[in-house]
Structure 1
């Protein structure tokens, strides 16, 4: 008889180690197959579809795919996600969404609930085999050159979209928040749109800075995304970056879920 998979294990109970390896392989495999299957289709559609139609389709497919991926992780029992507060933002654009950035799943969680999000991506990822075709169809924005990134972000906001920007610029290595960069403020000021902060909490360092993609974490992992304060379009980039850093530090110091130190912080 096959063993019963512990898909209903309470979040407080540790999964068997052998099953954590199963979840790791099945989770990464599911995401990889999904990306590989969509990439050639998206690349073809990017050539034949009008820009606006391609943008809408590309973003909806990515949002739906990420949602399916997170549901798969939940069904396996690997993760628990509390993302319901994001649903209130679906018709709230244009806004600059500014979350803290503890791990690689942050953008996946936000986009999974919001089907019209423009995402600023590393230029290297835009040419990636797994992600490039879909990202280009969705008209995601390259982070280089900086001036082109800023113009692209402002143009997308003027279309009424949500824009996802991580104020830290990279994953958190200094608890509870890295030094925030002025990019968020500069884009919001140029586009004349508010900045909506998002507070991402987790009890694991999985996929934080320095965590290998194939390193097994303790499971299940809990994630929570809640809405933070909404700030008016800022006037001064450096001043607003410091304000954001203080705000995140204060809020995250009282978070329900707190991860252990990330690998990069201890090296």
Structure 2
């Protein structure tokens, strides 16, 4: 199906519904395929081997998933900018959070990334085993997040955080939480910002899971500024939020605000 077909035609609308089912179903199938292996390997593998294997499998699985979306679901992903981060050592990767796809996009390009994710997802029967094998970090307490993030960075991993704490409600950005500032101050690791851009708010906070997408869907990740570890995490949080807002405000609106 051509991505240039005008939206609103009956066949195109039907295709968008089918593409939604393919997208959700294929992700569930990939997770189910790895689930029994992750469950069995987590208690028996040495920690270092388990987390390395777990992260590699998740990266590879997400990469296959995005290729499938590109081939069958009229989705176009420009993620090559993320590849430059692969060999740059311990970093805190801070990204905006417009969609449920955000973590999938970033993790698909980075082999040694640890994601800070909701505690409920860590307990989820479909996603939890893989996340636990990869030693992802639960966000059920600031001190725990800070400590586990420091430990991951000390082993050479990169930590992925969405400093809004949840998907964006008030676009372009919700207020940032102070957790990321605490992690970078206590670990000394730099913060690499990533700006995620979507052609539509698909799978955003206000987009129901089973609402069809508006296709074609275009997604792009671009690297922003890299911040050194601060002395004052409160001031850093305000600076980081101001930077994200500046980067994500359309030029015409920025001129009006000025």
TM-score band by shorter chain is over 0.9
Give 1:174 deviation, angstroms. Answer: 1.4
Q: Extract structure 1 runs of 4+ deviating beyond 6 A.
A: none
Distance 1:238 1:122 in 2: 23
Say if 2:42 is the partner of 1:32.
no
Match of 2:162 in 1: 166
Q: 172, 175, 185: which is aligned to 1:176?
A: 172
Distance 1:148 1:179 in 2: 22
Unmatched 5+ stretches in structure 2: 252-258
Distance 1:245 1:196 in 2: 13
Give 1:133 deviation, angstroms. Answer: 0.6
**Counterpart of 1:47 in 2: which secondary structure?**
coil
Distance 1:209 1:9 in 2: 26
Give 1:150 deviation, angstroms. Answer: 1.3
Distance 2:79 2:218 in 1: 11
Say if 2:55 is the partner of 1:54.
no
Match of 2:210 in 1: 214
Q: 3, 7, 30: which is aligned to 1:9?
A: 3
Match of 1:3 in 2: none
Match of 1:108 in 2: 104
Q: 1:13 to 1:223 in 2, by over 3 A?
A: farther
The number of equivalent residue pairs is 248
Matches within 5 A, 1:116-265: 116-254=112-250
Distance 1:181 1:144 in 2: 14
**Counterpart of 2:42 in 1: which secondary structure?**
helix
Q: 59, 70, 73: which is aligned to 1:74?
A: 70
- Alignment RMSD: 1.3
Match of 2:254 in 1: none
TM-score by length of 1: 0.90
CA offsets, 1:171-208, max 9 Å, x none? Answer: 11112111111111100111101000000011111110
Unmatched 5+ stretches in structure 1: 1-5, 256-267
TM-score by length of 2: 0.93
Distance 1:170 1:220 in 2: 25
**Counterpart of 2:226 in 1: which secondary structure?**
strand
